[in-house]
Amino acid sequence: MPAIQLVNVSPKPCASFRVTRLIQHSNSRQHRKIAIVTHGGVLECIYRWSRRTGFAHARDFDIFNAGINRMQWDGERLHIVQWADVAHLSADVLDEVDR
């Protein structure tokens, strides 16, 4: 995927664009697994889209730095398999999670 740079854009207006790009790559038969390294704004868009919650209510889910979020695409819908997993991190680096 070619790099796309978005400057000074909040997650809400770009939610559709970001999720659409994820779906496009999920639908391509070139890859069985896709790794995405991104910031919390994109993760929030993906989570809300997959849960179909929109941005009308406050965030009620965690987004941890270095957390692993696993999703599965069934051809029509994105399903969250695991969210905000930090089990791979040592206790010394979990300074944000325990507060």
Overall pTM > 0.85: no
What is the extent of the structural domain holding 52? 11-93
**How many folded domains does the chain comprise?**
1
Looking at the domain assignment, is residue 38 inside a domain?
yes
Instruction: Report the chain's terminal Cα–Cα distance, integer Å.
Output: 37
Could you give the C-alpha distances from 85 to 1, 35, 48, 65, in angstroms and in order?
26, 15, 17, 10
Looking at the domain assignment, is residue 64 inside a domain?
yes
Looking at the domain assignment, is residue 1 inside a domain?
no
Q: What is the pLDDT of residues 22-76, one digit of tens each?
A: 777 677 766 677 777 788 888 888 898 888 888 888 999 999 888 999 988 887 8
Looking at the domain assignment, is residue 15 inside a domain?
yes
Could you give the C-alpha distances from 99 to 94, 95, 96, in angstroms and in order?
9, 7, 6
Looking at the domain assignment, is residue 98 inside a domain?
no
Looking at the domain assignment, is residue 99 inside a domain?
no
